[in-house]
Amino acid sequence: MKAKKYLLFFLLGYCIYIAIEVTYRGYSFRLMGIAGGLSLAGIGMLEDAGLRRFPLAFQMMVSAVLITAIELYSGMFSLRVLHYRMWDYSALPFSFCDGLICLWFFGIWYLLSVVGIFLTDYVSYYIFHEGTHPVYRKKKKGCAEGEFVIK
């Protein structure tokens, strides 16, 4: 059952990433779809491993790190093995690794990761009938550190 779920996450991530990139840039690459699929499947695996117990902002941070790492490795593979540069962030401030990753896009992945978190949680619950109904925690004003209210 887990294999089917992660395959579904991969296919959803593939399609969603291609759609976002075609909307944003006007074109995309299959390798970027694979990176999107790996990202969503990875978010699903992290959620299943217990990440969903943490506050949403922390889940988004971990997911953004995962997506950025996948972006870096797929960019290195494309550049070094395929000898093709699919994107170049070197003109942007705070770009690293020969323009393969940058802080600006890390922020974008942070914000977009909430879609992946919600999607994987809801697919797990409603389609695969796993876990409990998804809830997300937000720190309540006036609470001591570590106390959260469930909304």
Distance CA 134, CA 141 (A): 22
CB atoms within 10 A of CB 149: 10
pTM of this prediction? 0.85
pLDDT digit of tens for each residue in the chain (151 aa)? Answer: 789 999 999 999 999 999 999 998 899 999 999 999 999 999 999 999 999 889 999 999 999 999 999 999 999 999 999 998 888 788 888 878 887 889 888 999 999 999 999 999 999 999 999 977 787 666 556 554 444 444 4
Angle (nearest 5°) at CA 44 between 42 and 50: 105
Answer whether 74's CB lies under 8 Å from 35's CB: yes
Q: Quick: pLDDT tens for 54-66.
A: 999 999 999 999 9
For 107, residues 6+ apart whose C-beta sits below 8 A from its C-beta are 64
Residue 147: the pLDDT is 42
| 63: containing domain | 2-150
Asked whether the beta carbons of 18 and 38 are under 8 A apart, the reply is no
Q: How far apart are CA 131 and CA 62, in angstroms?
A: 21
What's the number of domains the chain is made of?
Answer: 1
